[in-house]
Amino acid sequence: MVTLAGVKSSAAGVTIGYNIIVVGGPIYAGALTGSAKDALANLVFDQRAKIGVYGSGQGATSPENIAQIKQSMPARSDATLQNAIVVKIGSSEDLNARAQDFVNQLVT
């Protein structure tokens, strides 16, 4: 089952039972927006679920950019976001190929 939900919607808070949860949105100054950070901070999910985080925006998609996104993610006492798969999707890239790579990382 797939549920698409805005990060501020009530459906986004119902994540128990999902194998994969993806949270994402635009990047500002290399960091996730407040709404994406709040969604990640408040996630309630099965510990075996994979978490994917993506940011979209201008500029490079280098390992340094990914590290900056990871640093902007909220700290959680359960440390569940440490293993999140994080990707930045730049506007000048082949978006379909980048999205496919992200999905492949989540389902393997």
- 52 is a domain residue: yes
Residue 2 has what pLDDT? 87
- 1 is a domain residue: no
- 11 is a domain residue: no
pLDDT tens track for 53-108: 999 888 767 888 889 999 999 998 888 888 999 999 887 788 889 889 999 999 98
- 79 is a domain residue: yes
Q: 6 pLDDT exceeds 80?
A: yes
Residue 92 has what pLDDT? 78
Residue 77 has what pLDDT? 82
Taking alpha carbons only, the member of 79, 93, 32 closest to residue 51 is 79
Cβ–Cβ < 8 Å for 15, 43: yes
Virtual torsion, Cα 97, 102, 105, 108, nearest 10 deg: -80
Task: Domain of residue 74: give its range.
Answer: 18-107
- 30 is a domain residue: yes
- 5 is a domain residue: no
- 66 is a domain residue: yes
Kindly state the average pLDDT of the residues 41-52.
Answer: 90
Residue 59 has what pLDDT? 73
Q: Distance between alpha carbon 23 and the CA centroid of its chain, in Å?
A: 4
Residue 50 has what pLDDT? 94
Residue 47 has what pLDDT? 86
- 12 is a domain residue: no
Domain tally, the chain: 1
